[in-house]
Amino acid sequence: MGKQENKITYLIILFFVLFVIFYTLIFVFLPLIYLLVTLLVIFIFLTIGSYVFYKKTNQVLLLVLVGFFRDFIKTAGKSFVKGKKVPPPLTEYEKKGIIYELARGKCEHLDCNVQDNLQLFYIIPRAEGGKNSYNNLVVLCPAHYAMAGRGVLSKGLLRYFINERDK
């Protein structure tokens, strides 16, 4: 090979090396630099925004956002339970029929005989996968309904009422 052919070979190798370097800069390092600058700008705006938000509301913005997303995830999960859709709510006609069919028109708490404003209480709430079945519904007066909602009446006690109903 002559000097001319060696120069052409070296130029081709040099062109190839420059192409690889250019390709690496454009497609690897520039997006990384762009990402870092974007994250820096976001951090600066969040810092300034957090300071302004705290001065106006006396609340930490990060904690407010975390609480918002926690509540969002809780409520979003309530419409579906393990991939199954939540059963539809009962109509007023169905509720009244169940109240008179199950409890003969009175509160199912053993120490209560109230017959007014009766409500159906789900032992396992519909939002958690509870069904509109007789084994999941208890008829309670407003006072006992409130107690069951606060957890004063345990699920075991409510199930006991269902067992007593079925005797």
Parse the chain into domains and list their residue ranges: 3-78, 92-166
**pLDDT at residue number 51:** 82
Q: What are phi and psi of 122, to 5 degrees?
A: -85, 120
Rounded Cα gap, residues 39 and 106, in angstroms: 63
Rounded Cα gap, residues 137 and 105, in angstroms: 14
- Cβ atoms of residues 153 and 147 within 8 Å: yes
The residues that bridge with 140 in the sheet, in sequence order, are 119
Token code pair at residue 108:
């199912």
- Cβ atoms of residues 109 and 161 within 8 Å: yes
- Output the tens digit of pLDDT for each of the chain's 167 residues: 567 778 888 888 888 888 888 888 788 788 888 888 899 988 888 888 888 878 877 777 778 888 888 877 776 655 555 556 677 788 887 888 888 887 788 888 888 888 888 888 998 888 787 888 888 899 899 999 999 988 888 888 888 888 887 66
**Residue by residue, what is the 3-state secondary structure of 3-17?**
HHHHHHHHHHHHHHH
**Residue by residue, what is the 3-state secondary structure of 86-113?**
CCCCCCHHHHHHHHHHHHCCCCCCCCCC
Rounded Cα gap, residues 115 and 104, in angstroms: 9
Tell me, yes or no, if the pTM score tops 0.85: no
DSSP-based three-state secondary structure for 119: strand
DSSP-based three-state secondary structure for 53: helix
Give the number of other Cβ atoms within 10 Å of residue 64's Cβ.
14
Rounded Cα gap, residues 97 and 95, in angstroms: 5
